[in-house]
Amino acid sequence: MLKSNPNGTGVKSRSIIKYLMKPDSAQKKLVSLEGLKREMFILAYVGFSKKYRPMDEATCKWVKLNFKGANTLVERGGEKLELTTDQLNAGDRLFRLYRFPVSLKKLIIVNENLINELKDRGFNKFYVRQNRRPQSSKQALKRKAVRMATEMVHKVKESVEMRQGAVKALENMMDNAKKGKIRLAEIRHHIDTIADTSSAEAMGVIAALKKSDKTYAPCIDVAAIFQGVYKKIYGGNRDHNVFKDEKQMILASFLHDVGKAKLPSSILDCTEKFENDSREKLLIRKHPLYGAEMLSKMGMPGFMVNMAKYHHVKLDTSMYSSYPEDARYESASKETRLIAIIDIYQALVGRRSYKKSWAPPAAMRYIEQLAGIEYDFEISEYFQHMMGHFPKGSLVELSDGSQAFAISVPKTDLERPQVIIVRNAKGQYLENHTFLDLAVEKDLSISKGLDHYDIFGEASLEFFMNLQVS
């Protein structure tokens, strides 16, 4: 049970602790194993059995394997050292395990299974956080959550036509780009509308529910997801946000694939897979260079050129899927690295005439597995934490057999979002759809993600838009 992502070693990433330590809603304290209770989050392990002081070879190896990415405080040669787990040696005396990455969430969120495992493993003291909300405020919080869920459904309904208009405008712009004429005026209006109406999040839900049947429709979906995620990570920090405003952010993500405008329609519209050494595949691999050249000639900022040129560069550049061939991963900006992950995610969840889509939860698991291989852990963790393990619009099955749409991204346990139940445990579809916060209702959990297309077919989006939340 105590086993983390095997690729989580030695990562400088934003710790999950930053999401857990909120002084206005939490009480932090030191507790023994007997004091651990559900609803608690472990911030640090600080009490250990004798086998950890010092650690023999086997114990050291076990800690390094199961706490990859965490920080430690140890004594070595009479000196106290702060080390990452991959720097541990046999003979070190362990005093603290802390700053856990998101991949170690199972070692942070307290439940009965974790308590039993901690006892067996010889961990006995912990710094914890526990939410302390007045009982009287719970009803008010639920009413607010239901209202927000209802507003999200309405926002999705309002944004469908907006997305269609943006797709058509981008198609027209790309058609003109094939002739050597890029007219940004064709898409400016749609960019302004998306930014002014704060519709990016809703369009991200649409992207998860609707077939991407147009050549450039995925660019719209990628842009919507990028705006939502990037704003949450960097939007309020002018030292890290390179975009002057949201409109420029949307424009940059719209144009990251502009180089495809130079590819023949026979390639873009083809429903067959090309061989790696085929003429068609070689041309496809050139579109990032085409895009960078086009944006440079237009006088676009360097970060936009970077997004076009390097969004297919992998951490492991020896992979065939990494191109341009001579590009280094270090050349890709953080914006480019983020849109690269979103590009992969959208390609997985988007339905095409020639392939079956992945359910969003399955796509998120795939993204997690590729961290450290195709892209760095830091950006991957940002993306996962902002999207959640069950992105908004995901169809899931609960532990009692009922079906529900995920409607929120939890700040702590990413596997316990707020959901809207559409089918009860008896298999009956509901007329009034029940709101449920899995972070509160601990008796239920998500057992698996579902492919909404298998359940609702082409009517998935329409079904979502007609939800009646109560």
- Number of H helices and E strands in the chain, helices first, is 17, 11
Mean pLDDT (10-residue bins), the chain, 470 residues: 36 38 56 87 92 94 91 92 93 93 82 89 90 62 87 92 90 85 86 86 86 74 91 78 91 93 86 86 95 94 97 94 94 96 89 71 90 88 90 94 94 90 92 91 91 88 91
pLDDT recorded at residue 287: 95
Report the alpha-carbon distance of residue 228 to residue 417 in Å, rounded.
Answer: 18
The structure tokens listed for 454 are 């298998």
Domains of the chain: 17-131 (no CATH), 142-382 (1.10.3210.10), 395-465 (no CATH)
Report the alpha-carbon distance of residue 226 to residue 372 in Å, rounded.
Answer: 21
pLDDT recorded at residue 1: 36
- Strand pairing category for 93-98 and 26-32: unpaired
User: Counting beta carbons within 10 angstroms of the beta carbon of residue 348, is it exposed (0 to 12), middle (13 to 18) or buried (19 or more)?
Assistant: middle
Closest CA to 176 of 164, 184, 188, 167: 184
For 112-150, give one letter per residue: b (16+ CB within 10 A) or e.
eebbeebeebebbebbbbbeeeeeeeeeeeeeebbeebb
Residue 339: CA count within 13 A, CB half-sphere: 32
- Length of the chain (residues): 470
Report the alpha-carbon distance of residue 152 to residue 316 in Å, rounded.
Answer: 39
pLDDT recorded at residue 12: 36
Other beta carbons within 10 Å of 416: 22
The structure tokens listed for 430 are 């509901």
Give the DSSP letter string of 164-205.
Answer: HHHHHHHHHHHHHHHTT---THHHHHHHHHHHHHT-HHHHHH
Q: Are 254 and 170 in contact (CB under 8 A)?
A: yes
Give the gyration radius of the chain's Cα atoms.
24
The DSSP call for residue 367 is H
pTM of the predicted structure, to 2 decimals:
0.71
Query: Nearest 5°: phi and psi at 237?
Result: -115, 100
